[in-house]
Every structure is written in structure tokens, then in C-alpha cells.
Structure 1
């Protein structure tokens, strides 16, 4: 796994902005009855521009002593912890409002973030092994291009007659934790606008547009709705 991650970091194209990659390993305590992980920041990191602000951020992260993240742990705006809890990628963009009362927001400051959970196939299902965290010196409008460079797609087949409930079933089959959460499924239409799929009609329009372009697959994005 380490060699794969190093190759991902090495090949990543940082697009005209300083960026730092680091990897949080998710470790279970075999003697604990609690369900969750201790997040340990590993030495697997890459800061090609040697940005001092990002190095300072990494030092602050290293001061965290294997924080535990369980199902009910309050992780606030700590994105690596949130990704370990929800098993869903997350990001901090220019649209994020800085909360001076929140330590994690203060740590990141004006920087942006993208976090992605990493799994390995083990037996009957996927096992969480860690979180990739990508921090940029400035926040971006979005991290879609970055996300697409490093994430792994989950593929499934839907018939043209599929209903929204069929899509919901396929998503929750692959991401079990979403069964009891509110989430969105979105795609980009022919005009490049990100559209939410929330009904049979939305899904049929999405599939019809894709078919008219001769596309062999539809790229969809799943995100968890955050509470107020």
C-alpha cells in the first residue's frame, strides 16, 4: 500500500499552487471495545514546493497524539477525522467560512483541503486503512481536478429503466455508512453545471444526456449533507 501511495503522490500534478500531501493511517486497537480508529500521521508526505506554511501545518498535525475517531466522536471541522468517520471524501474551499472558535479551522487558516479515505479489499468487504490529506496554501474554488487525479472510482451498472431508488440502493451497497445519513448524488450536465439527482426524472435526464453523447459511463459524485 505504501508503494502505491508514494506513486500517487509522485505522479500528482500540483496545478500552479503550493501543496502538501500527507497520509493518516487508521489503526484499530485490538484490546478496545470501541468501534473506531486511532489516526496516526505517518512519514509518508510530499511537499514539493517546500512551502514553510505547509511545513508548519504538518508540525502541528504531528503534535496530535493518535486521536481516536469513533462513530459518535465529535470531530468538528477536522476533515481527516470526518473522512474516517463518514468514509466519504471531503474538502475545504473558498466557500468555507472560517470559524475562529474552531481549532482545526485556525490550524488550516487560509489554506484549502481535500481528504480521501483509502480502502483495501479484504474478504467480504473494504477495509479502511487511512486518509490522504492534500493541503494547499490557498483555497480553491473546488478540488474536482485534484480529486479526479487521485481517487478510485466505484463502478456499477444501472439499466436505462432504473429509478432513483435503484441508484440509492447501489450507492448504499458500496458505502454502508450512508444508509443512515443524508447525502447527495450529483453529476455534470452537458453545459458543465453540477446537477443533483434527487428523483426518477433527474436520473432519466442524466442517463439520456449521457446516452446522447455516446458516453460509456456517467461520472457521479457522492457527498454527505452536513447539519446546520
Structure 2
């Protein structure tokens, strides 16, 4: 089934269980917003500033435990997301930031509202992508959600040139994620855990300083039992 890049993005978001997103439209994103009414299950909340979209997605992720999604156009729209993306990165909130970009032929030519948002956000994201073809959209979305929500959660940015939203390709959502270089650790190291237990047992006045990792891992009950 051939779909536009914008519709492939919408279909992929539904596959990942997205119910709500926060965004502010702009020129590079118009093909995506044109497709959005065909997907009523994707609730879009219009913000008054892109920074609000990023913070709202961060807050949604913290409260719901799901991946938050925010959307902004190219140039200043994308850069307005930066503070919210940084907050999500520092506080380990799973977030997907989708940004519009100038059309592929104009990338690197100082086009109107062109900005290297992947370069800007490199230090404050777990990973980021620029989708260079509609055929890559579904795979990129699946990988982005996997990276954002596994291991230590955090934001992933997906930058999409305007003409990729319009370009058509076959839509096939991958059966599974294959990321050879990404294997997050889910279990504690036995030796380190024994060392920590020994230090706690030998402490005269032990003090627990618990962070957000306790909530992320669902270990509140275990922490209370330890205390």
C-alpha cells in the first residue's frame, strides 16, 4: 500500500500506541497537518509556543509513563523545542520530537528557515534522525520509540524534510527492531550489587538519596522495603 510520507508517519505513530501529541504548525509541517484529520485517533493539542509543546510532551511522559510526542516546524520552530528536549534528557523522560525541515534539494544551502536541528540537539538527545526518504519513515519511527523508551529513557528527535512528507512509498511496519549497536542493560551487575550491599550493611547511619530512576523502574515498593 503506497502512502505519502506524512501518512506513513501517522500510521507509524498509531502502531506505537500514540494517542496524543502537542504541536504548533508551520510551513515545513503543512503536509503532515494536511494528513492529520484523516487520523482522528491521533489527538493533536495546539500549543501557543513550541517550547510549550516540548514541556507538555515531557509532562505527559512523566505522568502517563508513555512516550510523549511534540511537533514543530523548521528553523525557529525547531529551536524553540530545545529547552524542553534538554529537560527531558536530563530527567530521563521518553520523548519523540518531530521537526519539519526544508526540502532535500535545499539542505545545506541556507534556505529560508533552514537550521541544523540534528546537530543542535546531538548533546541533549539519546539519538536523532533525518529521514531522507518516505520509505525509511516507518523504520525510523519504530527505532526512535524503542530508543526513547528503553534503557535510560530520553528524547529522540526525528527531522523530516518537507518533500519527504509528500513523497509516496510502500507502507510496511517492521515486525521487530534491529539495532546492532544499541543493547541497553536491564539487570544490575552482580559484583557491583554485592559491593553496594556490603557498604549498606556496614554503614552506621545509612542515608538513601533516591532519584527518578526508582520511578522509571517501578521499584518504589522495593525501595521502601530496603529502607
The structure carrying a bigger strand percent of its residues is: 1
Fold conserved (TM > 0.5)? no
Greater RCO, CA 8 A, separation 6+: 2
TM-score by length of 1: 0.27
The structure carrying a bigger helix percent of its residues is: 2
Structure label with greater radius of gyration: 2
